[in-house]
Structure 1
C-alpha cells in the first residue's frame, strides 16, 4: 500500500538557506513560496518544489572519494549556455565526465552536487 501523500519535497541542508535558494531561483527561474530564517521553499507553477533548510554544521561530501548520496539533474537545451549561466551564478564545475556533450557535474554554492544534462 502506498502512502497517502499530498506532496513530495526534496530538501537541501545548508548553512545559508536564503543564499542557496537565491542561487537555484536564478538558475531555474522558480519563485520563492516560503521564506524564513531556517527554511526557504521554491516552486514552479505550484507543482514542482525544492526547499532549503538551515544546517549550520553542513559539510559537503568529498567527491568522488566519499561518493554522493543524492544530486539534482537539471535538463537543458544547450549545455554550453547553461554552463555559462550556472558558473556566473556561483556554481563550480567539478568533473569532466566521459560524455561532456550529454551531462556535466557542478557544485552549488553550498557544495551540493548537481548536473546539467541534455536528452
Structure 2
C-alpha cells in the first residue's frame, strides 16, 4: 500500500498494471526524470522530485490482458453504409 511521505500521510498518484513493472517504471523514470522511490519485485514507484505527495506506481498485472471486441461486419448491417470493394 502506498503511503505519502509527508507528515500528513496524504498522497496522490496512479497505479498501472504491467507485465514487467520494473521495465515500465524505468522507462517512465528516464522519460519523466522522476525519482525512484521504491524498486521491489512487486512494486515500482516513482515520485515527483521535490514533491512528497505525488506518485506514479507500477504493479504486476494480475488479470488477463484486455481482449479487443469483435465488431460486426459492416456489410448488410442495417445502420452502416457499406460500399463494397
Q: TM-score band (shorter)?
A: 0.5 to 0.7
- 2:32 aligned partner: 28
Task: Please give the per-residue CA displacement for 1:64-99, whole angstroms capped at 9, x wherever unaligned.
Answer: x8xxxxxxxxxxxxxxxxxxxxxxxxxxxxxxxxxx
DSSP 3-state at the match of 2:56 = strand
User: 3-state DSSP class of the match of 2:65?
Assistant: coil
1:5 Cα deviation from its structure 2 partner: 6.7
Q: Which one has the bigger helix percentage?
A: 1
1:59 counterpart = 2:60 = no
What is the deviation of 1:60?
4.7
Scaled by the length of structure 2, the TM-score of the pair is 0.58
Long gaps (5+) in structure 2 = 1-7, 72-85
Structure with more relative contact order (C-alpha pairs < 8 Å, separation 6 or more) = 2
* TM-score, structure 1 as length reference: 0.43
Q: CA RMSD in A?
A: 2.5
Shift of 1:57: 3.8
Query: Structure 1 stretches of 5 or more lacking a match?
Result: 66-119
In our comparison, the structure showing a higher alpha carbon Rg is 2
Q: 2:21·2:58 contact (CA, 8 Å) conserved in 1?
A: yes
The number of aligned residues is 60
1:16 maps to: 20
Q: 1:34 to 1:46 in 2, by over 3 A?
A: farther
